[in-house]
Amino acid sequence: MGKRIGLFGGTFDPVHIGHLRGAVEVAEQFGFDELRLIPSARPPHRETPQVSAAQRLEMVTLAVAGVAPLAVDDRELKRERPSWTIETLESLRTELQPDDQLFLLVGWDAFCGLPSWHRWSELLDHCHILVLQRPDADSEAPETLRDLLAARSAAEPQSLQGPAGQIAFVWQTPLAISATQIRQLLGEGRSVRFLVPDAVLAYIHAHDLYRAPN
């Protein structure tokens, strides 16, 4: 039997318990051997001032330390430029066994935007896609995705077969937390305790991150 590996990309600016709780729930539900959080590169002008990609990576590393099966994968930050998901999948596949199963986690909103992704029709050659449902996201799938959904949706998320190729919908306990909210609170000098893991909180304070410039 191949390994079951989940992939969860994001800017994680900073990582927070909404990300982490969701990751733990999906990992348990699917019995993942690993769930890799993959911080994405951003063009330099889109980085949060005073917070580098290396610091975002360090915060994710602290957040998942000792929390198996969560792990960090830094390949997108090692590249010179923001990377396409298809390239990340291709790069991962060169390191895995052919029967290892890959599960790409995407939020409903991101899933609806799939047709704008680079080489999007090839994504399912490399992974399954797990679409994370939220109560606020009950809109219809765009026309361009209807055929794909009809052809590739699995009735039961647990029944996804093989290393790649199917789509399933997954429910998650909603936690109304965003990195934007956390940056705002910190910018106003307010507490973000219990919105991020304690180790991340300590890191933010030690490096004076997300503070409004004086």
The values of phi and psi at residue 69, to 5°, are -95, 20
Give whichever of 24 and 154 is closer to ligand ATP, judged by the CB atom: 24
Confirm or reject binding of residue 14 to ligand ATP (CB under 6 A). no
Confirm or reject binding of residue 36 to ligand ATP (CB under 6 A). no
Give whichever of 9 and 69 is closer to ligand ATP, judged by the CB atom: 9
CA-nearest of 187, 186, 211, 188 to 196 is 186
**Distance (Å, whole) CA 121 – CA 45:** 30
Residue 161, CA distances (Å) to 29, 31, 148, 155 in order:
15, 14, 17, 12
Of 24, 96, 148, 177, the one binding ligand ATP (CB under 6 A) is 177
CA-nearest of 25, 31, 22 to 2 is 31
Binding window for ligand ATP (CB under 6 A); candidates: 10-18, 84-92, 155-163, 197-205:
10-18
Site track for ligand ATP across 85-114, x = CB under 6 A: ----------------------x--x----
First to last CA, the chain: 56
Cis peptide before 69 (omega within 30 of 0): yes
Give whichever of 19 and 126 is closer to ligand ATP, judged by the CB atom: 19
Residues in contact with ligand ATP, counted by CB under 6 A, come to a total of: 15
Give whichever of 145 and 196 is closer to ligand ATP, judged by the CB atom: 196
Residues that bind ligand ATP (CB under 6 A): 10-13, 18-19, 22, 107, 110, 172, 175, 177-180
